[in-house]
Structure 1
Amino acid sequence: MNTFVISTSSFDTDNNAAIQRLINAGLQPVMNPYGRRLTEDEAATLLNNDVVGMIAGVEPLTARVIQSATNLKVISRCGTGMDSVDLTAAKSLGIAVLNTPEAPAQAVAELTLGLMLAALRRICQTDRLVRAGEWPRTQGGLLAAQTVGIIGLGHIGKRVAKLCQAFEATVVAYDPYVTQAPADITIVPMTQLLETADIISLHTPYSPDLHHLIDAQALARMKSGAIVINAARGGLIDENALKDALDSGRLSAAALDAFEQEPYQGSLFKYDNLILSSHVGSLAREARQRMELEAAENLLNGLIKTGIIRDA
């Protein structure tokens, strides 16, 4: 019997018409049994010879994993980033790889704005002090008074820019693939962005070329007291260099929703001016529902194109 894997840690199959159509066509769903992100070995084991399609999370779909799935025809990412999939290996084997770039964009953009405001107004620090019996008169900063530098002006970056502009912040951006900027956004070189922005927010996919895009040298270029936000991908920031920048006071604050190793365990926990969240950028109810519906539709349509499922 042909099967399809849903590797995300949670997925509403009951209220998804495309999933039900796959089941009615005779395909058996195989769910993630761990309730967390799969390891490479776990993904390879799950993608056995009966699997023809996959709704993927952020597990590492390496060449080894993809090559072990001998009947796999379609990978449908429930999300926007494709950096967890070896696209070269998939293409060489004729496996279609699809994603849902619009679905999570607003959710990630809103989380990014929340992290900016929390860092500027020191909300998390103040909360901890109040719970400890103190009554701090914490003075923060206005987003309206900041220059926000956005690295990556895709679906999410554009929404972050729009939200920041609603707060009357000045927005500059760096994206080597964008030549025409949206209204009131100034495209600048990377060095200029690092040197002039008060808040720097990352919205680019991860690739080996972008590993530690924000390294010690980049951090040294930033304005004293700058804030760094990463609600994109782990690996874009050198976490050791980030610690040094927080220790030295080069950065006044930072916020991370993505880490090189997840779940994160490390020495960043000790920094009171560092906000940490557990890669929840897309986990807004409405965005998650849209992502699941679009991912399932992509899988269904992909399998129809292969002839495994007949078009209605």
Structure 2
Amino acid sequence: MRATILVTGADLAPQALALLGDFAIVYAGRAPTEEDLVQLCRKHDPVAIIVRYGSVGAAAMDAAPALQVISKHGSGTDSIDKVAAGARGIGVLAAAGANAAAVAEQALALLLACAKSVVALDARMHAGHWDKAVHKSLELGGRSIGVLGLGAIGRRFARLAGALGMRVLGYDPFAREIPDGVQVVDLETIWREADAISLHCPLTDETRGLLDAQTLARCRRGVIVINTARGALIDEGALLAAVRSGQVAMAGLDSFAVEPMVAGHPFRGEKNFILSPHIGGVTHEAYVNMGVGAAQNLLSVLRARGR
């Protein structure tokens, strides 16, 4: 009887499935709840879980005695209870860098959309207006951008921003590689000097609420805020107040504290917010890369443990 791999999603790239041909694959669907995962773990006792959607906590782990590894279909592992996994000897890995190009490009798209008023001008044009005589966009060349987090995505974004002629200020106390053209600084320098800030750091106890009322108040007035990382890096109430006051000129967001965004969320309808539904890493290429990376990671653990 083949061992089972549980995928917390409805599909996996064919290239990833080809690597997992020795296993039975069970899909949890596109919106699995914690109870869904617990029930599937009890029924199938998987040796590995590939996490696409939802969260994997201690209850699901305890429902799968054979579980050896939890592999993230992406770069962030905050949806996995790593403390519980460590206590149970379960490996946790991420497909680091697999979606770097896709997410960095989304961050650049949001930055450009904010600086060039793309969304607002498009709406005005469709409504029959011609605002050439009254509108001025922001030129990014020569301005400073703070890049918080210099992992695979942050480094890629930093190179894109540098190609626009921006002065790139980078902050990452754990960075192993600094791209050419990035000036490594402390957070206070970024708050003080950056004309735009782009978040690319993981969500941890230290980074939760990194942009809050206090830090936003220390930023340059009219700063642009871009977030394609994790929504909880930002105090959403503080950001809303900062945008409404003009302290933050525009916010381009691809991630939110609660996803999907709930009905009545205060960002909806705010003219100086450009929003996308956490799709930075959703490209065909990233889908394949993340699936293959997740499969390779779990196989490395299972083989090392003789499975």
TM-score band by shorter chain is: over 0.9
Shift in Å, 1:178 = 3.4
RMSD, aligned CA: 1.8
Question: Does the 8 A contact of 2:45 with 2:63 survive in 1?
Answer: no
In structure 1, list runs of 5 or more residues that go unmatched. none
Shift in Å, 1:202 = 0.4
- Residue of 200, 205, 224 corresponding to 1:203: 200
Change in Cα spacing, 1:187 to 1:59, as seen in structure 2 (3 Å) is same
Who is 1:255 aligned against? Answer: 252
Question: Does the 8 A contact of 1:147 with 1:169 survive in 2?
Answer: yes
Identity of aligned residues (%): 37
Q: Which structure 2 residues correspond to residues 91-102 of structure 1 after superposition, within 5 A? A: 91-102=86-97
Aligned residues between the structures: 301
Shift in Å, 1:183 = 2.3
Shift in Å, 1:180 = 6.7
Change in Cα spacing, 1:132 to 1:31, as seen in structure 2 (3 Å) is same
Who is 2:191 aligned against? Answer: 194
Who is 2:33 aligned against? Answer: 39
Q: What TM-score do you get using the length of structure 2 for normalisation?
A: 0.92
Shift in Å, 1:216 = 0.4
1:150 is aligned to 2:147 = yes
Who is 2:277 aligned against? Answer: 278
Q: Which structure 2 residues correspond to residues 49-88 of structure 1 after superposition, within 5 A? A: 49-88=44-83
Query: 282-291 or 164-173, which moves further after superposition?
Result: 282-291
Distance 2:140 2:28 in 1: 41
Who is 1:290 aligned against? Answer: 289
Q: What TM-score do you get using the length of structure 1 for normalisation?
A: 0.91
Who is 1:6 aligned against? Answer: 7
CA displacement, residues 165-207 of structure 1 (integer Å, 9 cap, x when unaligned): 1111100011122387432211111111011100000010101
Who is 2:99 aligned against? Answer: 104
Question: Does the 8 A contact of 1:67 with 1:89 survive in 2?
Answer: no
Who is 2:129 aligned against? Answer: 134
CA displacement, residues 26-74 of structure 1 (integer Å, 9 cap, x when unaligned): x3211123x23x3323332232252111111242222233233222111
The letter of the residue matching 1:43 is L
Who is 2:24 aligned against? Answer: 28
Distance 1:179 1:71 in 2: 35
Change in Cα spacing, 1:46 to 1:135, as seen in structure 2 (3 Å) is farther
Distance 2:53 2:19 in 1: 25
CA displacement, residues 276-309 of structure 1 (integer Å, 9 cap, x when unaligned): 001111112112211111212222332223333x
Q: SS at the partner of 2:71? A: strand
Question: Does the 8 A contact of 2:8 with 2:50 survive in 1?
Answer: yes
